[in-house]
């Protein structure tokens, strides 16, 4: 929204503002909102009946959130005009209490964001649901919306060109969604897809003494308002980040997760923030074509935000391998902690399958006991089955195993490909005498291999050329940084951390 005319002293008595779809007249304690007679592809307000329907829907839908603000429908009549122009009549909100303004001024907005998160979660808990709503929560429906936005942005950009990041955005979106159909099916089964707000921006949140007012929900297409509740909340998180408050964005999403009891994976949170950033980028491009100052720069900034969140959202399968004593388990654990992802260990899975406590010794000779080829095949099959389920649910995984066998490495690649996950292989190594000293110093743990087993494996170790070598002979911190550079080749900087909210046990 940008002002065209302003009159009056510090607090103007009258003002006219414009968005890409409407013109708003501020006078006294009222706001009168006219729909523009535009056809933007995703909405068509070129006829008076269409604009009237849009005004009626705006009043009806927004009264769900702020009934005391949306007063009703009005009309603007001109001499000689056959049909009066419909408009929305609203109670004027104090501009100095806009959430966007408070954020820009550096005010502490944690309390108001907590209340907004609670209000939004409360609405989502009672919001309309049903087959028509659920249909918009599928993986394919979300992909269709992305593809529509890609097409619209390309058409709007025309010969002006697109930012270099757009092809990367398209690739990452398609890859993430390709392997995540089970995640979205689970979200629908959990009742997470609702008739929400659809357009929650900080400039449309007013922080009043008796509680915040949420304005301007999406009215022109019900399908775009039928969204995952997390998607609905992600719009405001994205906007807070654009206002230079990434910590507030993370705080808000965490509070929403608590109030809604939503255990969504971090990857989904980042994907939805990316989606909302790209939607906003499209709007900025429309505004740029309408002559809005600064809109072109906002478009490019939002595309960059989209790419950053999609990179952070990418689901990954990281193989951490190496011979006994190479430090692979230590590195795998530290890397999983640093990334905030799930760690699966072949040593622990093997003993679980055998019904043996993880810390109990099951030491045996090379290829004996629970380390026969049959037991090893069973262990890796279970390891990859668990990884497959986690990846399809949007969780990244670190797999700690020797990855000694070429066939099992290929199996891991197949699992990653089927799940639309990025696979990175890391091979830990140290000089033989260092590995032997580590094995001799072991007192307990889930691994049973000793120096004789390590020597036998080393004698027949096949090459692993695609793995990134990681020297674990130095500090653990240095090894982790080397591993991170392989897992995140664009750098370790990422979008704000949207961690799973803490849930009290039942």
What is the value of pTM for the model shown? 0.88
Taking residues 473-502, what's their average pLDDT?
A: 78
Higher pLDDT, 185 or 360: 185
Distance of alpha carbon 7 from alpha carbon 15, whole angstroms: 7
Distance of alpha carbon 450 from alpha carbon 439, whole angstroms: 6
Distance of alpha carbon 263 from alpha carbon 313, whole angstroms: 16
Higher pLDDT, 489 or 331: 331
pLDDT tens digits along 359-407: 888 788 777 888 899 999 999 999 999 999 999 999 999 999 999 999 9
Does residue 273 come out as left (phi exceeding 0), alpha (psi in the -120 to 50 range) or beta?
A: alpha
Residue range 95-313 forms a domain whose CATH class is alpha beta
Specify the range with the lowest mean pLDDT, choosing from 151-160, 445-454, 481-490, 493-502.
Answer: 493-502
Q: Indicate the fold that domain 316-487 takes in CATH.
A: Rossmann fold (3.40.50)
Question: How big is the chain by its Cα radius of gyration, in Å?
Answer: 28
Q: What is the mean pLDDT of the chain?
A: 91
Residues of the chain with CATH 3.90.1200.10: 95-313
pLDDT tens digits along 86-130: 999 999 999 999 999 999 999 999 999 999 999 999 999 999 999
Residues of the chain with CATH 3.30.200: 2-91
Cα torsion angle, 269, 257, 140, 385, sign: positive
pLDDT tens digits along 417-434: 999 999 999 999 999 889
Closest CA to 328 of 353, 345, 340: 345
Full DSSP string of 145-212? HHHHHHHHHHHHHGGG---TTHHHHHHHHHHHHHT-HHHHHHHHHTT-EEE--S---GGGEEEETTEE
Residues of the chain with CATH 3.40.50.300: 316-487
Q: How confident is the model at residue 9 (pLDDT cuts 50, 70, 90)?
A: very low
Closest CA to 318 of 301, 305, 302, 333: 333
Q: Is pLDDT above 60 for 36?
A: yes
CA dihedral 278, 301, 500, 401 (to 10 degrees): 100
pLDDT at res. 208: 97
Q: How confident is the model at residue 19 (pLDDT cuts 50, 70, 90)?
A: confident
Tokens of residue 42, six digits: 């995703």
Q: Residues 20, 290: contact at Cβ < 8 Å? A: yes
Q: Is pLDDT above 80 for 11?
A: no
Backbone torsions φ then ψ of 391, nearest 5 degrees: -60, -45
Distance of alpha carbon 346 from alpha carbon 363, whole angstroms: 15
Residues in the chain: 506
Tokens of residue 127, six digits: 């919001």
Architecture label for domain 2-91? 2-Layer Sandwich (3.30)
Distance of alpha carbon 272 from alpha carbon 228, whole angstroms: 9
pLDDT at res. 500: 54
Tokens of residue 284, six digits: 């900025």
Q: Is pLDDT above 90 for 182?
A: yes
Taking residues 490-494, what's their average pLDDT?
A: 58
Strand pairing of 342-345 and 468-471?
A: unpaired
**Could you say which DSSP state residue 293 is in?**
T
pLDDT at res. 494: 55
pLDDT at res. 419: 95
Taking residues 239-245, what's their average pLDDT?
A: 97
pLDDT at res. 496: 61
Q: Which residue has the tokens 């961690």?
A: 499
Q: Residues 24, 31: contact at Cβ < 8 Å? A: yes
Distance of alpha carbon 276 from alpha carbon 235, whole angstroms: 5
Q: Is pLDDT above 50 for 293?
A: yes
Q: Is pLDDT above 90 for 447?
A: no
pLDDT at res. 309: 97
Q: Residues 421, 342: contact at Cβ < 8 Å? A: no
pLDDT at res. 498: 59
């Amino acid at each position: 929204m940008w002002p065209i005319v302003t009159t009056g002293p510090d607090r103007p008595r009258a003002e006219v503002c414009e968005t890409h779809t409407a013109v708003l007249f501020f006078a006294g304690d009222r706001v009168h909102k006219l729909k523009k007679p535009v056809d933007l592809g995703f909405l068509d307000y070129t006829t008076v009946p269409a604009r009237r329907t849009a005004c009626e829907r705006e009043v009806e839908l927004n009264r769900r959130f702020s009934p005391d603000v949306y007063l009703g429908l009005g009309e603007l009549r001109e001499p000689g005009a056959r049909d009066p122009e419909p408009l929305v009549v609203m109670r004027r909100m104090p501009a100095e209490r806009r959430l966007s303004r408070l954020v820009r001024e550096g005010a502490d907005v944690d309390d108001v964001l907590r209340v907004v998160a609670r209000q939004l979660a409360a609405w989502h808990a009672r919001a309309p649901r049903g087959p028509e709503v659920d249909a918009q929560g599928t993986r394919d429906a979300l992909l269709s919306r992305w593809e529509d936005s890609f097409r619209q942005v390309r058409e709007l950009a025309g010969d002006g060109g697109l930012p270099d990041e757009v092809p990367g955005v398209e690739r990452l979106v398609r890859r993430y969604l390709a392997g995540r159909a089970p995640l979205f099916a689970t979200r629908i089964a959990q009742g997470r897809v609702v008739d929400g707000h659809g357009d929650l921006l900080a400039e449309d949140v007013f922080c009043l003494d008796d509680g915040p007012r949420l304005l301007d929900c999406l009215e022109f297409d019900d399908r775009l308002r039928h969204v995952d509740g997390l998607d609905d909340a992600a719009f405001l998180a994205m906007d807070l980040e654009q206002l230079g408050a990434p910590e507030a964005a993370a705080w808000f999403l965490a509070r929403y997760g608590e109030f809604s009891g939503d255990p969504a994976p971090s990857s989904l949170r980042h994907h939805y923030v990316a989606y909302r950033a790209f939607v906003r980028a499209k709007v900025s491009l429309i505004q740029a074509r309408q002559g809005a100052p600064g809109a072109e720069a906002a478009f490019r900034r939002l595309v960059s935000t989209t790419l950053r969140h999609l990179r952070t959202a990418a689901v990954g399968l990281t193989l951490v391998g190496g011979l006994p004593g190479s430090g692979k388990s230590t590195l795998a654990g530290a890397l999983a902690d640093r990334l905030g992802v799930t760690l699966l260990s072949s040593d622990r899975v093997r003993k679980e399958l055998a019904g043996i406590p993880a810390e109990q010794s099951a030491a045996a000779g090379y290829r004996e006991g629970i380390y026969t080829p049959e037991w090893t095949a069973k262990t890796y099959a279970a390891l990859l089955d668990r990884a497959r389920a986690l990846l399809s649910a949007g969780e990244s995984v670190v797999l700690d195993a020797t990855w000694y066998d070429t066939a099992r490495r290929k199996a891991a690649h197949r699992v990653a490909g089927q799940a639309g996950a990025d696979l990175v292989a890391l091979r830990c190594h140290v000089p033989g005498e260092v590995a032997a000293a580590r094995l001799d110093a072991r007192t307990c743990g889930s691994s049973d291999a000793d120096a004789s087993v390590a020597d036998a494996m080393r004698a027949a170790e096949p090459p692993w050329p695609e793995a990134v070598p990681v020297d674990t002979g130095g500090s653990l911190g240095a090894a982790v940084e080397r591993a991170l550079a392989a897992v995140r080749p664009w750098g370790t900087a990422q979008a704000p951390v949207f961690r799973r909210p803490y849930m009290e046990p039942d």
